[in-house]
Structure 1
């Protein structure tokens, strides 16, 4: 059911265990994981365990994570995907993280555009949303630039790194 997605400069491929060494390097960077709900990884085994967990969610069709490949450099530069898939209500929640070396170069927009298109067209979703911590200004800018609308702040809604955090809700609706 899940297919690779092709952007202009990136390819999104369903996450695989062999991606663990490169993803470990990204997931172990504290700047990358600052606003993720995981601590920075200390061991490649953690990356393999995370990938196995994500693959199980995909088998259950509850979530889908992609590895982001830079086409020209043939290099893994991050991961992204659908953190939650609700087929009954035709809603998906997206998430993404990109290697710090590639920040500010438009790769995030390309990732979001691919996920939104796939969500609306191939998965026939009506709503694509993203939750972001208020301090994550770069992600908020990325979502707004890609026509997501701010819907409000959910106060102390999720536990991240042992603390409850506020999350801003952003969404795009298919027919808007």
Structure 2
């Protein structure tokens, strides 16, 4: 299994549109993603991310399969980053997300002065929870009714990986 992280390119546009119009893919990720997700949305995304090291395309065996990103903290939170990731449905349960989180976490910690990586994940997203656990992220707490999507409140679980010595 070969999982690579790379910059986005124009050839990713058709699959971005396909993946992000699948409600199973978008059910747990941000509502900031337009619905429906169009070619223009994908073109804008690719143009915004091509030069940014905090946004990576996930490639599996030579094919674009998803996205992983980080938002660096600011001010007193400048030693931390929040991760986000998703995969196209047909690529679930193959270890791809686990490997992508491993690679991206290593890269973030090497390239930035970070001591903390964290993810807030919907409590019913058991697959993502397992990805985080396999990458040694630790459950720090539950945020009750932290998000509201499609007429429903969701609890979120806060997972983090803290580097003890820096």
- Shorter-chain TM band: 0.7 to 0.9
* Aligned mates of 1:123, 1:163 — CA distance in 2: 37
Deviation at 1:160, TM superposition (A): 4.0
TM-score, length-scaled by structure 1: 0.78
Q: Is the 8 A contact 1:57 1:64 kept in 2?
A: no
How many pairs were matched up? 161
Change in 2 beyond 3 A, CA 1:129/1:26: same
23-32 vs 129-138, which moves further: 23-32
| Map of 2:92 onto structure 1 | 103
* Aligned mates of 1:163, 1:16 — CA distance in 2: 35
2:43 matches 1:48? yes
2:155 matches 1:135? no
CA-based RMSD of the aligned residues comes to 2.6
Q: Is the 8 A contact 1:11 1:68 kept in 2?
A: yes
2:64 matches 1:76? yes
What is the SS of the residue equivalent to 2:67?
A: strand
Give ranges in structure 2 of 5+ residues lacking alignment. none
